[in-house]
Chain A
Amino acid sequence: MKEKNVTGAQAASELELRIRNEIANIFLTIPDEDMYAEVLKIILRATESEHGVFGYIDQDGALVVPSMTKGVWWEQCSVPQKDIRFPRDTWGKSSKPRAIREKKINYTNEPSTFSPKGHIVIYRHISMPLVYRGDAIGLIQVANKKTDYQPKDIALLENLGVQMVCALNARLQRDRQEKQRKQAEEELRQHKEHLEELVQERTVELRAVNKELEAFAYSISHDLRAPLRSIDGFSQAVLEDCRDKVSDEGRDYLRRVRSAAQHMGELIDDLLRLSRVTLTEMKHETVDLSSLASRILENLKDGQPQREAECVVPSGLIAEGDPELFKVLLENLLGNAWKFTGKKARARIEFGSGEHEGKPAFFVRDNGAGFDMTYAGKLFSPFQRLHSADEFPGTGSGLAIAQRIVFRHGGQIWGEGRVNQGATFYFTLKGIKA
């Protein structure tokens, strides 16, 4: 066989060269599956054959035959399935699958006995697999030459096959990649569509939930406070109207009832503030944090003019985000700094900006009561406090609110402190997040 091949190659006539060129040209210029039919035409002419097929093996191992000599015989052919794709388990025992399985050319000048019923009569044919690196990747069959096939026909076909196999392999790979790319594109498109639908659905859901939450918050502010007013009011009424009948101890108890009711009122208000910070729609503006901080500190000083406090705010600190939320954020952080320096003879509160791990960060620093870093994890949980209410009053919602505001601006917030040596709260802002 090998020897034959060599002799065939040596004997490559001018005609064979011309055929080769024609085939190469078709491979190069016809991009789609029409290529198979065009190549087949040339091969049929070269081998003086009447019929033939040229196909390839697809990824699932099926034989795909984009080109068959059609025309009159195709209409006459009564094979029920005229699909061009033949899965491996339908192949049967004819010469075509044999060539593929054996990866070896076969030919006969005897009529085929394997043709299915209704198939055109094959009275002589050559079946040649196209083998690339040990794998059959394609098949060429020519049939029904007027005279018997000769070794020179086989040699010619083999030579053409050797030439074609690389080109066919490249073509198949390209087609597969193209198909995969198209599939991926289609999947991507579907994913995107699905994602858009999902986003829309979620937005509708979120809006509904938000609305529900707002209604819930509204009803809390009304309904939960009413009984507290009764508790506080009637305790006070007893204190005033039944003064003589209630012992000192009893009056102390009533005062405790009142103070608890009032504290709960504050908690409810803070809970509402907390939820509002999350639910409110955000504006996007450029905000001068320096002047905002200065104004807040002025107000704090006005509230306690007797306190000696040094407040440091450099000018020109600017951020993008919601002005109302920024105000609440700085009110909470500076308010904390003010509160926790309350017991210092000389308080120092600084608002500024710097870098943290390469990113710009703002900070609020004080020299107040500080905190134990062991409990730093609890700082931002709502209603968690690191100081007793006797030491420093408060409900423990300020930093939780601050954190939500920073999160909504795509930033981070964290605190550093030491007991009695002050605290620093840092925050970053990336921009608005819905």
Chain B
Amino acid sequence: MEQKKEDRVIMLVEDNPDDVVLTLRALKKYNISNEVVIARDGAKALDYLFGTGSYAGRDTSAMPAVILLDLKLPKIDGLEVLRRIRADERTKLLPVVIITSSKEEQDMIRGYSLGANSYVRKPVDFIQFSEAVKQLGLYWLLINEPPPPKRR
């Protein structure tokens, strides 16, 4: 059964609490009221996705519609999170948007070659920032058709 668009979950992997607040605020501002799962580091994000650690027993057939992934993260960094997402059958088709401070060419190249779907730089200007979040939310939650859920 197809998931309703408003039930789609956004996953935000971000360790900076200010950026979390600002992202949530931007989503709210544009009436994107979908549930947002927040992971403060790479390990937590992987636990959520694979139902391990503190997320042991989570129904892993329910996957986020999009993962907004910061690169510089405690414990396991963003590129490694991305690599593991792409390496696992259950998550390899999930849309992943890298959203980071870094405009480093190397990071972009590595991000894309590991299979990132988009690469967005966080601008200092909050108006630009929330515009970017809005576009992302609209595209990945409303326009994009997510991959069909993996059948058990």
**Cβ contact within 8 Å between B126 and A229:** yes
Which residues from chain A contact B104 at a C-beta distance below 8 Å?
Answer: 218, 221
CA distance A21 to B13 in the complex (A): 102
CA distance A262 to B127 in the complex (A): 11
**Cβ contact within 8 Å between A233 and B126:** yes
Interface residue count for B (Cβ, 8 Å)? Answer: 19
A229 nearest in chain B by CB position: B124
**Cβ contact within 8 Å between B101 and A226:** yes
Which residues from chain A contact B129 at a C-beta distance below 8 Å?
Answer: 229, 233
- Scan A239-261; emit 1 where CB is below 8 A from any B CB, else 0: 01000000000000000001001
Which of the 9-residue segments B17-25, B79-87, B136-144 touches chain A?
A: B17-25
**Cβ contact within 8 Å between A261 and B124:** yes
Quick one: which of A218, A225, A233 contacts B22, CB cutoff 8 A?
A233
CA distance A236 to B126 in the complex (A): 7
**Cβ contact within 8 Å between A230 and B22:** yes
Which residues from chain B contact A223 at a C-beta distance below 8 Å?
Answer: 101
Which residues from chain A contact B72 at a C-beta distance below 8 Å?
Answer: 222
A272 nearest in chain B by CB position: B103
CA distance A226 to B102 in the complex (A): 10
Which residues from chain A contact B29 at a C-beta distance below 8 Å?
Answer: 240
Which residues from chain B contact A261 at a C-beta distance below 8 Å?
Answer: 124
CA distance A258 to B129 in the complex (A): 13
A232: Cβ under 8 A from any B Cβ: yes
B125: Cβ under 8 A from any A Cβ: yes
CA distance A114 to B29 in the complex (A): 116
CA distance A68 to B18 in the complex (A): 96
B122: Cβ under 8 A from any A Cβ: yes
Which residues from chain A contact B122 at a C-beta distance below 8 Å?
Answer: 225, 229
- Scan B75-104; emit 1 where CB is below 8 A from any A CB, else 0: 000000000000000000000000011111
CA distance A227 to B22 in the complex (A): 12
B118: Cβ under 8 A from any A Cβ: no
CA distance A222 to B22 in the complex (A): 17
Given A229-B126, A233-B129, A237-B25, does the pair A222, B102 have CB atoms closer than 8 Å?
A: yes
- Scan B11-35; emit 1 where CB is below 8 A from any A CB, else 0: 0000010110010010001000000
Which residues from chain B contact A221 at a C-beta distance below 8 Å?
Answer: 101-104
CA distance A313 to B129 in the complex (A): 39
Which residues from chain A contact B126 at a C-beta distance below 8 Å?
Answer: 229, 232-233, 235-237, 258
Interface centre among A218, A264, A269, by most chain B C-beta atoms within 10 angstroms, is: A218
CA distance A235 to B125 in the complex (A): 11
Distance in Å from the Cβ of A397 to the closest Cβ of chain B? Answer: 16
CA distance A222 to B123 in the complex (A): 11
Interface residue count for A (Cβ, 8 Å)? Answer: 23
Distance in Å from the Cβ of B120 to the closest Cβ of chain A? Answer: 13
Which residues from chain B contact A226 at a C-beta distance below 8 Å?
Answer: 16, 18-19, 101
A235 nearest in chain B by CB position: B126
**Cβ contact within 8 Å between B102 and A218:** yes
Quick one: which of A222, A237, A240, A265 contacts B124, CB cutoff 8 A?
A265
A232 nearest in chain B by CB position: B126
A228: Cβ under 8 A from any B Cβ: yes
CA distance A262 to B124 in the complex (A): 6
Which residues from chain A contact B100 at a C-beta distance below 8 Å?
Answer: 222
CA distance A218 to B129 in the complex (A): 21
Which residues from chain B contact A258 at a C-beta distance below 8 Å?
Answer: 125-126
Interface centre among A218, A222, A237, A265, by most chain B C-beta atoms within 10 angstroms, is: A222
Which residues from chain A contact B16 at a C-beta distance below 8 Å?
Answer: 226, 230
B122 nearest in chain A by CB position: A229
Distance in Å from the Cβ of B41 to the closest Cβ of chain A? Answer: 15
A91: Cβ under 8 A from any B Cβ: no
CA distance A221 to B22 in the complex (A): 19
A234: Cβ under 8 A from any B Cβ: yes
CA distance A227 to B123 in the complex (A): 12
Which residues from chain B contact A229 at a C-beta distance below 8 Å?
Answer: 18-19, 22, 101, 122-124, 126, 129
Distance in Å from the Cβ of A48 to the closest Cβ of chain B? Answer: 92
Interface residues of B in 100-124 (CB under 8 A from A): 100-104, 122-124
Besides A228-B124, A229-B124, A262-B125, 14 more A-B contacts (Cβ < 8 Å) are A218-B102, A222-B101, A223-B101, A226-B18, A226-B19, A227-B18, A229-B122, A230-B16, A232-B124, A233-B22, A233-B126, A237-B25, A265-B123, A265-B124
19 examples of A-B residue contacts, CB within 8 angstroms? A218-B102, A221-B102, A221-B103, A223-B101, A225-B122, A226-B18, A226-B19, A226-B101, A229-B123, A229-B126, A229-B129, A232-B125, A233-B129, A234-B22, A237-B25, A240-B29, A258-B125, A258-B126, A261-B124
**9 closest A-B pairs (Cβ-Cβ)?**
A265-B124, A230-B18, A233-B126, A236-B126, A233-B22, A222-B101, A228-B124, A225-B101, A232-B126
Residues of B within 8 A of A (CB): 16, 18-19, 22, 25, 29, 72, 100-104, 122-127, 129
Residues of A within 8 A of B (CB): 218, 221-223, 225-230, 232-237, 240, 258, 261-262, 264-265, 269
